Amino acid sequence: MGNSTSSMFYLFVIVIVLYIVGASIYQAFLWFRKWQEKKRDEKFSMDNEENKE
């Protein structure tokens, strides 16, 4: 019985680690998309200012 308990513990640890890694990748993706959108908006507003003159 001791062997199955340790394997369940390892499974639990692996699931937690995969969850943390997946959540980190997702957050990085969201940050990158937000950063790209901000960069695009700045370029768009700069283009508009040049066209007004």
CA-CA distances (angstroms) from residue 20 to 26, 33, 42?
10, 20, 33
In-domain check, residue 11: no
CA-to-CA distance for 50 and 42, rounded, in angstroms?
Answer: 12
Proportion of the chain above pLDDT 70, given as a percent: 81
Structural domains of the chain, count: 1
Summarize the confidence of residues 11-28 as an average pLDDT. 97
pLDDT digits (tens, 9 = 90+) for 36-49: 888 888 777 777 66
CA-to-CA distance for 16 and 22, rounded, in angstroms?
Answer: 10
In-domain check, residue 2: no
User: Domain of 32?
Assistant: 19-53
| pLDDT greater than 60 at residue 1 | no
| pLDDT greater than 70 at residue 31 | yes
CA-to-CA distance for 36 and 34, rounded, in angstroms?
Answer: 5
In-domain check, residue 26: yes
CA-to-CA distance for 18 and 24, rounded, in angstroms?
Answer: 10
